Structure 1
């Protein structure tokens, strides 16, 4: 275990069973944090065991809960406080994306995105902030996206809408809690190789989903997708005291994918 930036901190991490959440959890443990891994998927226990295998001194609890259910998140935060004595960082990572043409997108699909991507973050913040206020400090890291606020693809209306909303929530909470020493920042990820992205690739190209993923990499100046642990490193920084004067920030982590004006003009 790397001694360092998160030593002595307690974090609750949502969507922690796989993908970005797993990468965030692994990175937090690497830097010495005690963590509560929350996910609707009971496999979160297996993910925690894998991380314990890497870091035998890891202090981890798991909670099977739905971020869209406020009481379940209140209970998860309470279990975190009971287990570790504090709650210093909330990593609001849980999210969903389902693609469909806008004219065919059902109200159920729209509301599913709102429930998880917006209400889930809202509920996690409301569950964690009272403990941070008690302690007189804290940090919240929200997983927004480049999608919605900066770019968008066809079929992503619900996802883009909900992820863009998180930028507004980040800014408002940052202002509201700055003088009470709670920092609030958001990440804006391009693409990482996660189960969610693999599912989107199947929805985009059912006959050859791997080609859809390869095509994403072609459009990234660094020519690859992010690793979940690279996103975890950003979350670790934003949750640590190294980011003590950073609040209300939108940190793009996309390998440069939002930079090019075109893919066909230029000396490259």
Structure 2
């Protein structure tokens, strides 16, 4: 029998109550990881209970914590280590996106993206890396985006800025910790059907948000949005020993959406 790829690994996953984080946690449970699911919402426990129902042998704890608060992330990391042992993997997934024209975007909205998307990853890494160092190594997987580093849409200035910053953080940490056996990689997702994307659709087209989501799929060569568990599979691979020689990588997972030069020229 093949051993599950994450058997015995201890993972902390942020933004785990819904959306991508839920998909990542479900996939990690499938592959045998011991998990701490972290989220600002107390709904994270109900999500964990659903995953326990799918995988009765899963070992999961939850922590209600704000990634923008370093002390709270230190507490979540300690709770994880107390329950399961030193942390092997940090999945820095928690993120936010709000849309507004740049000239009208309030400072509070800009700072909200910086606090959650940048400081949240920073805090999660600082809270978990000491456990990895004590255990001889580990892996960090950061949720960046195609937005900011590769493409962008109007109204996404704060989000694009914050997600592009995570590419730089990924590369710096990958270099800094390579000789101490900590690998750091980032995913660059296009669109998945998540509560965050549904909120963006409402902001883009309040009268018909479903049409906004359908229009996203039109521009994807695979003609659909990602499923959260598909993103979970990438996080599982990058967190596992199967990716033992991969660090500092930016892995695009977008169904090919950043590939077409135009939507009107070509033979199809």
Q: What's the counterpart of residue 33 of structure 1?
A: 33
Q: Which whole-Å deviations, capped at 9, do the CAs of 1:94-127 have from their partners, x for residues lacking one?
A: 0000000000000000000000000000000000
Following superposition, the deviation at residue 182 of structure 1 comes to 0.1
Q: What pairs with 1:83-122 in structure 2 (closer than 5 Å)?
A: 83-122=83-122
Q: What does residue 186 of structure 1 align with?
A: 186
User: Structure 2: where are the runs of 5+ without partners?
Assistant: none
Matches within 5 A, 1:1-268: 3-268=3-268
* Cα drift, residue 85 of structure 1: 1.1
Q: CA deviation at 1:136?
A: 1.0
Distance of 1:230 and 1:203 partners within structure 2: 26
Shift of 1:72: 0.3
Task: Check conservation: 2:86, 2:134, Cα contact below 8 A.
Answer: no
Distance in 2 between residues matched to 1:21 and 1:182, nearest whole Å: 22
Offset, 1:71: 0.4
Measure, in 2, the Cα distance between the counterparts of 1:136 and 1:87: 11
Q: After TM superposition, give the deviation of residue 4 of structure 1 in Å.
A: 1.3
CA shift, 1:9, in A, is: 0.1
**Does the Cα contact within 8 Å between 2:117 and 2:162 map onto a contact in 1?**
yes
How many angstroms apart in 2 are the aligned matches of 1:224 and 1:202?
Answer: 19
Deviations 1:129-148 (A, max 9, x none): 00000011100000000000
Pairwise CA distance, 1:254? 0.1
Q: Could you list the runs of 5+ residues in structure 1 that have no partner in the other structure? A: none
1:197-253: CA deviations, max 9, x gaps?
000000000000000000000000000000000000000000000000000000000
C-alpha displacement of 1:3: 4.1
* Partner SS state of residue 251, structure 1: strand
Provide the alpha-carbon RMSD of the alignment. Answer: 0.6
TM-score (norm 1): 0.99
Task: Give the number of equivalent residue pairs.
Answer: 267
